[in-house]
A = this chain, B = another copy of it.
Amino acid sequence: MAILVVGSVAFDSIETPSGKVEKILGGAATHFALAASYFTDVRVIGVVGEDFAAEHEAVFERRGIDTDGIERAPGLSFHWTGEYSGSLNEAKTLGTDLNVFATFAPKIPEQYKDSEYLFLANIDPVLQSRVRAQMPNVKLVCGDTMNYWIADHRESLLKVLRELDVLLVNDGETRMLSGETNMVKAAAGVMSLGPKALVVKHGEYGATGFFSERAFAGKPSRPFRAPALPLAEVVDPTGAGDSFAGGFYGYIASQPELTPAVFRTAMFYGGVMGSFAVERFGTERLQAVTSEEINDRFNLFREISHLEGLSE
């Protein structure tokens, strides 16, 4: 089933201990769409400027991603500049040039309106709400946000949360949204704001899924822990969370029904796609990964976390 994603299609200039790149293709919607494209059809809503060239368009085309919803506007594309150091867990933002994104008003092409799965990538919650409102019959809505919107745009964000089925955030964002330090209480607090389920991403420690009693009627609602792959080298963490979301949601959209087992498996695929993303700068690895590599790595994720996974 098709996923509709709204979010940034952008250029990133990034410096990490592994090197430095200038204005490479990036953005939350880009990473998400590439990761999800290995599982299902993906349609993108976004805006780019005149610097978005045929070579960038081709990255989407080669993965069969529908870009009819990417609006071309006069000016430059959204451009993020950041650097990572030390344990690479946190980016230091050096510049955020919104450019054409500053006046972005998402419009959904008619042929996208039958999309059953909606992903609201990390953008202004006002825009997330506008997209949500144009997709009243969608089957499942999943979204992301960040500390900036939690701190300074709380009211608009709360409106989005009320209309979300699944929220994906990190530990700090979960605590910030709920005001609770204990993660179980924080997760319950966030879910009381709307989402039926919550995926908390712990970076190198994997992710935990939390489920409200509304998530799976009559099913057990225990949390679930999915691992991350211990990696000897992280070249560039940019887009890891969006790639996680793409693998997670892409797998869900590829299945006939969202069961607890599908949700858990989706969390593993999220980790798998996140682990590929960080192996190269930008979207390089996600452009060229193979289905066989995805299957192998999924099996590796099982092996490193399951008591029976080891072939002896």
Question: Using a CB–CB distance below 8 Å, which chain A residues touch chain B?
Answer: 86-87, 181-185, 187-188, 202, 204-206, 208, 210, 219-220, 222-228, 230-234, 259-261, 264-265, 268, 300, 302-307, 310-312
Partner of A222, one of B202, B210, B259, B300: B300
> Nearest chain-B residue to A265 (Cβ)?
B307
What are 7 A-B pairs with beta-carbon distances under 8 A? A182-B231, A188-B232, A205-B205, A222-B303, A225-B227, A260-B312, A268-B307
| Pairwise interchain contact A208-B225, C-beta atoms closer than 8 A | no
List, in ascending order, chain B residues with CB within 8 A of A230's CB. Answer: 183-184, 187, 208, 210, 223, 225
Say how many copies of this protein the assembly contains: 2
**What's the minimum C-beta distance from A251 to chain B, rounded to whole angstroms?**
12
Q: A261-B310, A312-B260 are in contact. Are A304 and B223 (CB under 8 A)?
A: yes
> Nearest chain-B residue to A205 (Cβ)?
B205
A181 to B185, CA, bound (A): 31
A307 to B226, CA, bound (A): 9
| Pairwise interchain contact B310-A185, C-beta atoms closer than 8 A | no
A220 to B206, CA, bound (A): 22
> Nearest chain-B residue to A261 (Cβ)?
B310
A201 to B301, CA, bound (A): 19
List, in ascending order, chain B residues with CB within 8 A of A204's CB. Answer: 183
| Pairwise interchain contact B181-A312, C-beta atoms closer than 8 A | no
| Pairwise interchain contact B231-A312, C-beta atoms closer than 8 A | no
List, in ascending order, chain B residues with CB within 8 A of A187's CB. Answer: 230
**What's the minimum C-beta distance from A227 to chain B, rounded to whole angstroms?**
4
| Pairwise interchain contact A225-B261, C-beta atoms closer than 8 A | no
Q: A260-B312, A261-B312, A312-B261 are in contact. Are A182 and B224 (CB under 8 A)?
A: no
